[in-house]
Amino acid sequence: MRTWLLARVHLGTVAVLFVLTLSACVLVAGLPRAAQSSYDEALRRALTAAPAVQADLTVATQSSGRPEDLRERAQFDSRERLWREIVPAGLRPLTTGAGHMSAKTELTPVTGTSGSMYVNLGWLSDADRRVDWVQGRAPGAPTTTRYEGGTIPVFEVGIVEEALPEMGLRLGQTITLGENDYAAVKIVGAFRAKDPGDRSWSHDADVLHVIEQQPPGGKDHVKHITTLMSDAGLTALSGEGRNLTYRWVLPLDARAADAMDVPGLRAAVVEFERVVGLQTTGSPYRVETALPKLLGDFLAALSTAQTVMYLVLGGLLAVALGVIVLAVQLLADKLEHPLGLARARGGSLRQVAGTAAALAGLAVVPGALAGYALSYLVPGPVLPIVHAGPVVVVVVALAYAGARTALTHRAPLHERRDDVATARPSARRVTLEVLVVVLALAGAYLLRARGLSAAGGQDPFLLVVPVALTIAAALITLRCYPYPLRLLVRLAARGRAAVPFLGLTRASRARSGSLLPVLILLPALGVSVFAAVVSDGIATTQRTASWQQVGAPVRVTSESEIPAEAIERVRRLAGVERVVPAQTGRVQVGYGAERADAIAVDVTQWRDLLDGAPVGLPPLSDGALVSPELRGRGTIEIGWQSRVKLATRGVIESVPGFYTHGKFMVVPIGVQVRPAVNTLLIQGDVALPELARLVPSAVVTSQESALRAIQDDPLTATVRWTLVIVTVALAAYALIAVVLSLVIGAADRARAVSFLRTLGLSERQAQRLTVLEILPMILLTALVGLGLGLGLPAALGPGVDLSSYAGDLPVGDYSPGLLLPGALAAGLAGVAVLGAYAHTAISRRRSLGAVLRVGELP
C-alpha cells in the first residue's frame, strides 16, 4: 500500500503522534540525566562539606621504640609512595592531590602540673606552606641539657599565637615534659595559620587551637596544645617512653566523585584498609577515615531519592506509553476502512499489519530520534535508560499498531457489534483480579509494618507495592463503574426525558476499547497527585526545619558576652522590631559531675516572637522546662552563676534553634544574678551583614537563609523539581487522554447522534447526550485517581524516608488542601464537557448523508 499517501491523508493524526512521541522521549531520556547529574553534585558537595579529617584517607601507626622511629623526611616520603601505589584503582582518581605527613606525641604532660596541662610535640611536613611566623623565629635543631642527673633532649618549638596567653606561656620559655621519661621544649616562635579555613587544618586542629577537655568525673578542664618543630627535630623524637603517632594524609578530591561509583568506593576503602594492614613491619598500620560512613549516609539519602524517582518516572513512562497507544489507536481507527478494503481485495494479514506499523513508524521513529537528540541538551551523564527509553517507546507503539491491526483484520470483512453490552467475565478472570487486589492491600500493610529492608539499596517491595495498588484501583474501577451507572439508568428510565436514559445507557455499555483511557487517567492522576502531595509535604517540613534550626527570624550568637552597648545598637537598627536577649551555657546539675545545656530567656517574649511559626514553646513564668532525659526529678538544683533550685514545669522534646537531644533545660532569664547575654533573638526585616558589623564576635543566621540552604541542596532541589515537572507532565497527558478518547469515539458517537436527530433530537439535547455519555467514566476515574494519589503516601508509610530533603526532620504531614484535587478534577471535567460541545458543534455542520448510509434510516 502507499504509506506516504496514507500519511498525507491523515497528516493531523500523524503529527499528534509525532509530538507525543517526541515529548515522551525527551522526558524519559532527559529527566534521568538531570537526576544523575544532581546526584553527582550532591555527592561532591557532601564530601566537600565534611571535615577533611573525615573524608580523607589517613594511614597511621604508632612507634613503640627506636627500631620503629622515623628519623628523617625521606623515610616518610618512601612510605607515602607505597601508600599511593597500593591505593585501589577505584580510589585513585580521588586521591591525586598533594598530601601531607605528620609526627605527633599525645598526652604529653607538663612536668609538675599533675596532668592539668599537656604540651605535645609535633611535626608537619608542609608547615612552611601553612603557617607564618609572627613572633620570634622558626624552630631549629634540637639540643640537650642535664635534668635530674641525666641528659634529656631539648626541642626548639613554635606554638600558635593564641595559645601563649591561654596556656600561660611566653617566648623563650623552656618547659619540661613528662613524668618519668623527660624531655624539654624551648618556645622560640609563635605562628598563625596562613589560611585558617584550609581543609587540611581539620587534621591538625590540635596544632591550631587549644583543646579543652573535661575528664570523666572531673570538674576542671584540661588544656592540650601541640607545638611545631623542624625537620631536624625528628632525629631526637622517639616513641620510646611517650605516645608517638605517625600519619600520612591522602586528601580526597571530591570533584572526581561519581554517585554511580559509591558502592565501588566503599568496597575500595575496605580493600585499602586490608592491604595497608598487610604492610605491618612492627606496630600495625591502620587507615583512619570516616569515608565509608559519609558514603553510607549519602547512599541512604540517594536510595530514597531514587525510589521516589523510580515511582514518578515509572508512572510517567507508563502514562506516556498509554497516551501514545491511544494516538496509535486513533490512527488505526482512521485506517480501518482502507485496510479492510485492502484485506478484502486479497491483501495478506502481514501486508495490512505492516502498513499500519509503517505508518505509525513514520511518526514515532522521527519523534523518538528528535526527543533522544534533544535530551542531550540536558546536562548529565548518559545512563542506559537514556538509550533504552526511546527504544521502548518506539517498540511499544509499533507493536501495538501492528498487533491491533492484525487482530482487527484477521478475517476479511470481519464485522462486529459495538452496540451490545460486554460479555460477563469468566470465574477464572474474576478470581485473578480479586487475588491482585488482595495482594496489593496485603503488600501495603506489610510495607507499613516492616518498613524498608535492612539489606540496603533499592527495596523491590517498595517499588512493587505502588504498582500493585494502581492496578488494583484500576481493576476495581473497571469492574464497579457500571453498577452505579445502571442504578442511574433505572432512575432515568422512570422519567419522561429520553436524553438522560440514552446518555447513561451508552456510558454503561461502553465497549472495552473505550476503557483504555481509564488505564491512563488513573495512574496519571494517581502519580501526579502523589508527586504534588509529597512535594507539598517536603516544602512544609523544610520550613519547619528552618525554624527548628534557627529558633527565630534572626539569631545572633557569640561565644563571649555581647556588650550592652552593642545590644542597644542592634535595637536601634533599621528594620528591627523586637530583640529578645538570652544566655546559653553548660550548667552543673546537682553537686556531681552531671552537666546539661541551658538557655535563660524571657519565654513570654520568645513565644510572641515565634507567633505564627511552625515551632514554639509552652509558657513558662518560673521553674524550668526540661528535656525527657531530665524528667521526673521534681525540683532541680543547678549551678550556673549561683546555686538555683527550680521546679520542673514541663517536658519539651527540643528547644527551637538550640537543642534537639541530650540533657537541656529552659529557665527564665530572671534567675541569673546578672545575665551574661550571648544570644539575641531578633524579629524584623534587617540586613544580616549590618548585624554582623555591629556584633563582630557573633555568628548571624536567619530562618530564611537556613531555608534556602535546605532547598538549595542538589538532591533536595532535584527531587522537588522532578516532582513538579512530572506533576505538570502527567496532568497534561491526562488532559490529552481525555481529548483523544473523545476523538476516538467521535465517529460512533456522531452516527448515534445522527440517528437520533432523524427522530427529532435537538442540538441542545445532543450536547447533553454526549456529555452524559463520556462524563461519568471520566469523573469516576478522576475521583479514584485522586484518592489513589492522596492515599499512596500514607500507604507507603515508613518506606519513603524524605527527612534527608527536609533538614533531617521526618516528612509525615501529607495533608494537602483541596485546591489541587479540585483543579485536576475540574480540569478533566471541563475538558470533557468542552470536547462534548465541540463534537456536537462539528457534527452539526455535517449532513446526515455524510454519516448515515442508505438503508440505515429508521
d(CA 128, CA 369): 59
pLDDT at 191: 95
d(CA 344, CA 348): 9
Banded model confidence at residue 858, pLDDT cuts 50, 70, 90: very low
Cα 628 to the center of its chain, rounded Å:
30
Give me the residue spans of the domains in the chain. Answer: 51-289, 560-696
Q: Is the pLDDT of residue 552 over 90?
A: yes
From the number of C-beta atoms within 10 Å of its C-beta (0-12, 13-18, 19+), residue 258 rates as middle
Nearest CA to 722 out of 257, 25, 33 is that of: 33
Mean per-residue pLDDT, 597-617: 92
Bridge pairing between strands 679-684 and 576-589:
antiparallel
The cell numbers describing 124, all together, are: 608537619
Return the SS3 of 609.
Answer: helix
- Which CA distances in Å does 362 have to 183, 357, 409? 88, 9, 21
State which H helix or E strand residue 145 sits in: strand 143-147
Q: Is the pLDDT of residue 480 over 70?
A: yes
d(CA 548, CA 652): 13
Q: pTM (2 decimals)?
A: 0.74
Q: Is the pLDDT of residue 733 over 80?
A: yes
pLDDT at 512: 47
Is 750 in contact with 851 (CB distance < 8 Å)? yes
Mean per-residue pLDDT, 209-231: 79
What type of residue is 311? Answer: L
pLDDT at 140: 93
Q: Is the pLDDT of residue 426 over 60?
A: yes
d(CA 295, CA 47): 8
Comparing 218-227, 295-304, 451-460, the range with the smallest average pLDDT is: 451-460
d(CA 188, CA 156): 6
pLDDT at 380: 82
pLDDT at 842: 62
The cell numbers describing 208, all together, are: 591550631
Reported as half-sphere exposure (CB side, CA atoms, 13 A), residue 362 has a value of 19
332 against 425, higher pLDDT: 332
Residues 461-465: contacts with CB within 8 Å, 24+ apart? 461/799, 462/307, 462/796, 462/799, 462/800, 463/307, 463/310, 463/311, 463/314, 465/440, 465/795, 465/796, 465/799
Number of H helices, E strands in the chain: 24, 22
The 10 Å CB-count burial string (b at 16+, else e) for 148-178 is eeeebbbbbbbbbbebbeebebeeeeebbbb
Banded model confidence at residue 220, pLDDT cuts 50, 70, 90: low
pLDDT at 413: 56
d(CA 168, CA 738): 82
Banded model confidence at residue 582, pLDDT cuts 50, 70, 90: very high
Mean per-residue pLDDT, 530-557: 87
d(CA 682, CA 579): 5
Banded model confidence at residue 578, pLDDT cuts 50, 70, 90: very high
d(CA 256, CA 678): 42
d(CA 416, CA 546): 64
d(CA 414, CA 66): 99
pLDDT at 455: 47
Q: What's the DSSP call for residue 414?
A: -
Mean per-residue pLDDT, 191-206: 90
pLDDT at 112: 85
The cell numbers describing 768, all together, are: 447533553
Return the SS3 of 157.
Answer: strand
What confidence tens digit (pLDDT) does each residue in 249-304 have? 999 998 888 888 888 899 999 999 999 998 877 788 999 999 999 998 888 778 77
Q: Where are the beta strands (DSSP E) in 65-124?
A: 100-106, 117-120, 122-124
pLDDT at 373: 93
d(CA 589, CA 125): 45
Mean per-residue pLDDT, 220-243: 88
Length of the chain, please? Answer: 858
Comparing 342-356, 364-378, 820-834, the range with the smallest average pLDDT is: 820-834
Cα 54 to the center of its chain, rounded Å:
22
Is 127 in contact with 229 (CB distance < 8 Å)? no
pLDDT at 612: 87
Label residue 526 left, alpha or beta by phi (over 0 means left) and psi (-120 to 50 means alpha). Answer: alpha
d(CA 161, CA 713): 37
d(CA 809, CA 831): 40
Comparing 151-165, 238-252, 473-487, the range with the smallest average pLDDT is: 473-487
Mean per-residue pLDDT, 185-214: 89
Q: Is the pLDDT of residue 810 over 60?
A: yes
Neighbours of 262 (CB within 10 A): 18
Side by side, the strands of the sheet bearing 211-213 are 117-120, 222-226, 211-213
From the number of C-beta atoms within 10 Å of its C-beta (0-12, 13-18, 19+), residue 803 rates as middle
Q: Is the pLDDT of residue 61 over 60?
A: yes
Is 115 in contact with 222 (CB distance < 8 Å)? yes
State which H helix or E strand residue 83 sits in: helix 73-86
Is 39 in contact with 305 (CB distance < 8 Å)? yes
d(CA 812, CA 157): 57
pLDDT at 416: 54
pLDDT at 234: 92
Mean per-residue pLDDT, 64-81: 90
Q: Is the pLDDT of residue 214 over 80?
A: no
The single residue listed with the C-alpha cell 532569664 is: 669
pLDDT at 626: 93
Neighbours of 65 (CB within 10 A): 13
Mean per-residue pLDDT, 73-93: 92
Is 570 in contact with 684 (CB distance < 8 Å)? no
Comparing 145-154, 506-515, 519-528, the range with the smallest average pLDDT is: 506-515
What does the H/E/C string look like for 645-664?
EEEEEEECCCECCCECCCCE
Torsion of CA 438, 441, 444, 450, to 10 degrees: -60
Mean per-residue pLDDT, 556-585: 90
Mean confidence (pLDDT) of the chain: 83
Is 749 in contact with 65 (CB distance < 8 Å)? no
Bridge pairing between strands 131-136 and 122-124:
unpaired
From the number of C-beta atoms within 10 Å of its C-beta (0-12, 13-18, 19+), residue 357 rates as buried
State which H helix or E strand residue 298 sits in: helix 291-344
Mean per-residue pLDDT, 654-659: 92
Is 119 in contact with 106 (CB distance < 8 Å)? no
pLDDT at 818: 62
Banded model confidence at residue 593, pLDDT cuts 50, 70, 90: confident
Nearest CA to 521 out of 765, 785, 701, 165 is that of: 785
Return the SS3 of 549.
Answer: helix
Comparing 19-23, 475-479, 505-509, the range with the smallest average pLDDT is: 505-509
For the chain, what percent of residues have pLDDT higher than 70?
88
Mean per-residue pLDDT, 415-424: 53
Q: What's the DSSP call for residue 284?
A: P
Return the SS3 of 518.
Answer: helix
For 808, phi then psi, to 5°, come to 65, 15
Mean per-residue pLDDT, 134-147: 92
Q: Is the pLDDT of residue 101 over 50?
A: yes
pLDDT at 844: 58
Is 95 in contact with 250 (CB distance < 8 Å)? yes
d(CA 541, CA 717): 14
The radius of gyration of the chain's CA atoms, rounded to the nearest angstrom, is 38
Mean per-residue pLDDT, 387-398: 91
Q: With the C-alpha atoms ordered 827, 334, 410, 392, is the resulting torsion angle positive or negative?
A: negative
From the number of C-beta atoms within 10 Å of its C-beta (0-12, 13-18, 19+), residue 179 rates as middle
